[in-house]
Amino acid sequence: MKVLVTGATGLIGRKVVDRLRQAKFDIRIVSRYPERLSPVGDALPMPGAGSPDEAFLALMRDVTHVVHCAALNNDRNAGEADYRAVNATLTGRLAKAAAECAGGRFIYLSSIRAVAGPSFSGTIDEATPPAPQCAYGRSKREGEIAMLEAYAKRADATALRLPPVYGEGMKGNMAALMRLADTALPLPAGVLTGVRSLISRESAAGAVLELLNRPRPLRPAYVAGNASPLAISEIITAFRQGFGRPRRLVPVPALPLRLAAALLGKKASWQALTATQICDPSLLASEGWTPETDTLERLRELARRTSQAR
Q: How confident is the model over 16-27, as pLDDT tens digits?
A: 999 999 999 999
CA 116 to chain centre: 14
The helix (run of H) or strand (run of E) holding residue 81 is helix 80-83
Beta carbons of 287 and 293 less than 8 angstroms apart: no
Better-predicted residue by pLDDT, 11 or 36: 11
Running DSSP on this structure, what letter comes out for residue 49? T
What pLDDT, on a 0 to 100 scale, did the predictor assign at position 275? 83
Instruction: Check pLDDT > 70 for residue 256.
Output: no
Q: Rounded CA gap, 88 and 74, in Å?
A: 16
Instruction: Check pLDDT > 70 for residue 255.
Output: no
Instruction: Check pLDDT > 70 for residue 130.
Output: yes
pLDDT tens-place string over residues 192-242: 788 999 999 999 999 999 999 988 899 999 999 999 999 999 999 999 999
Q: Which residues contact 71 (CB under 8 A, 6 or more apart)?
A: 7, 10, 86, 87, 109, 140
Sheet holding 277-279, edge to edge: 122-124, 277-279, 195-196, 230-231
State how beta strands 195-196 and 230-231 pair: antiparallel
Task: Set out the domains of the chain in order of their start, with CATH numbers.
Answer: 2-166+199-225 (3.40.50.720)
Mean pLDDT of 58-87: 90
SS3 4: strand
Q: Where are the alpha helices (DSSP H) in 102-248?
A: 135-150, 172-181, 201-213, 232-243
Confidence of residue 165 (pLDDT cuts 50, 70, 90): very high
CA 205 to chain centre: 10
Give the range among 27-36, 198-207, 260-269 with minimum mean pLDDT: 260-269
The CA distances from residue 72 to 10, 161, 170, 270, in Å, are: 11, 15, 14, 25
What pLDDT, on a 0 to 100 scale, did the predictor assign at position 19? 94
What pLDDT, on a 0 to 100 scale, did the predictor assign at position 132? 96
Single pTM value for the model = 0.91
Mean pLDDT of 107-130: 95
Instruction: Check pLDDT > 70 for residue 116.
Output: yes
